[in-house]
Amino acid sequence: MVPVPEDQLPVILPTDANLLSEGRSPLPELASFLNVKCPQCGADAKRETDTMDTFICSSWYYHRFTSPRCETAPAAKEEINYWMPVDKYIGGIEHAILHLLYARFFNKFCRDLGILTADEPFANLLTQGMVIKDGAKMSKSKGNIVDPDEIMKKYGADTARVFMLFAAPPERDLEWDDSGIEGSHRFVTRVHKLFAKWIPELKDLKPGDGGADPELRRMRHVTIKRFTIDVRDRSHFNTAIAAGMEMINFLADYKPKTDADKTELRGTLIDFLKLLHPFMPFVTQELYDSFGHKEYLTETAWPGYVEEHTVSSVQTIVVQVMGKVRAKLEVSAGTPEEEIKRLALAHEKVVQAMGGGSVKKIIVVPGRLVNIVH
């Protein structure tokens, strides 16, 4: 038994073979495939008719992707060593041993052959849960299939994607829910509607600098922060979408009062499109285009946020007299302690509760509470 010389590869699988109904391979009976000359001695010989486990094919495909048309090696060295290892690999838990163990084995063998330098093929693994309906995995035999084509036809790809990302965190099983897909579609539709309303008016405004409504600015920065942390650090895409829904609720009722507000709103809407793009790429690209921008959203930079802009500028402070809540104060963030004490003691309800007594002790918990003992 001798290996086929490397320059005679591939050994082509004949596609003119007739399959046998009982499932046996036709190769052992296919003379044109079977009969060959021995590559070493030239004598008549027979070809191996056995085929490989397909788990071998899938044990190295991630190498091939780095230079898929390379003809001199499984992958070109500079390509495979630039791209490998895979930084994020996503798939089902059912491959926990099979594919993932075989691929690790192959990668180590390839490293020993000098094909690449990485010891491990997959630096980070995300195992996603199943999609289930009526308590069971979707399958033809159970008759609980939802056809992606129908969903896309009825609601569009953006809605299908949003639902898949909103219905459960990635590692958990996702229960299909018809009202859930309706809800996702409403959300995408509301995004479109909001932008369609504002784009004609805001399109040609130039970016401004400050002086705008602090609450609008706060919502802008809070939303960017939530999306960034949920996607980058937590892989909780569903809570990012929830933040997007809160933002839509806020913006739907928002009425700019000044030109500065309008400029801030324009900037907020554009940032919001960027945050939503990975979730609903089509509609966000269309709306971005309607703003007059020509580049792809994937070419734009993810918006940044300023931590201090994420906290509310107005604080509500509870005033207690002898442990009982008597009043609430609204002050702007950063108001000095002495000023807060003065405002608390001057409050009508507090004066009433103290009944003319003199202050023995007054404690201020910044941003939250004033406690007066008399």
Partner 1 sequence: MNQKYDFAAIESKWRKIWAEGKADKASRDPARKKFYLLEMFPYPSGRIHMGHVRNYAIGDLLGRFYRMNGLNVLHPMGWDAFGLPAENAAIDRGTHPAKWTMQNIAAMREQIKALGVGYDWDREVATCHPGYYKWTQWFFIQFLRKGLAYRKKTYVNWCGRCHTVLANEQVVDGACWRCDTHVVQKEMYGWFLKITAYAEELLADLEKLAGNWPERVVTMQRNWIGKSVGARVKFAVEETGDVIEVFTTRPDTLFGATFICLAPEHRLTRELSAGTPQAAKVEEFLQLVARQDTLARTSEEAEKLGVFTGRHAVNPVNGERIPVWSANFILAEYGTGAIMSVPAHDARDFDFAKKFGLPVREVISQGDDGPPDAAYAGDGVMADSGEFTGQNNREAAPKITEYLQKHGAGEGAVVYRLRDWGISRQRYWGAPIPVI
Query: Rounded to an integer, what distance in angstroms lies between the CA atom of residue 174 and that of residue 132?
Result: 6
Among 62, 187, 272, 305, binds partner 1 (CB under 8 A): 62
Interactions with partner 1, residue window 306-345 (CB under 8 A): none
Residue 29 in contact with partner 1, rule: CB under 8 A: no
- Considering the rule CB under 8 A, would residue 6 count as an interface residue with partner 1? yes
β-pair partners for 348: none
Contact 166, 241 (CB under 8 A): yes
Which listed range, 46-54, 207-215, 307-315, 346-354, lies at the site for partner 1 (CB under 8 A)? Answer: 46-54
Q: Which stretch binds partner 1 (CB under 8 A): 42-50, 209-217, 248-256, 265-273?
A: 42-50
Q: Is the CB of residue 80 less than 8 Å from the CB of residue 66? A: yes
Q: Quickly tell me which residue has 């809540």 as its tokens.
A: 325
Among 117, 258, 298, 352, binds partner 1 (CB under 8 A): 298
Phi, psi of 194 (to 5 degrees): -60, -45
Q: Which of 85, 208, 214, 367 binds partner 1 (CB under 8 A)?
A: 85
Which of the residues 249 through 278 are near partner 1 (CB under 8 A)?
A: 274, 277-278
Among 32, 42, 60, 136, binds partner 1 (CB under 8 A): 60
Q: Applying CB under 8 A, does 155 fall inside the site for partner 1?
A: yes
- 231/32 Cα distance (integer angstroms): 56
Q: Tokens representing 188?
A: 């995408």
Contacts of 298 (CB under 8 A, 6+ apart): 277
Is residue 160 near partner 1 by the rule CB under 8 A? yes
Does residue 211 bind partner 1 (CB under 8 A)? no
Mark the segment that binds partner 1 (CB under 8 A) among 107-115, 249-257, 328-336, 350-358.
Answer: 107-115
Residue of the chain from 99, 262, 293, 374 that contacts partner 1 (CB under 8 A):
99
* C-alpha torsion angle, residues 97, 102, 103, 108 (rounded to 10): 120
When asked if residue 109 is in the footprint of partner 1 (CB under 8 A), the reply is yes
Number of residues that bind partner 1 (CB under 8 A): 135
Tokens 């004066």 label which residue?
Answer: 351
Cα–Cα separations (whole angstroms), residue 28 to 4, 24, 203: 17, 9, 70
* 200 is a contact residue toward partner 1 (CB under 8 A): yes
In this structure, are residues 80 and 116 in contact, taking their beta carbons and an 8 Å threshold? yes
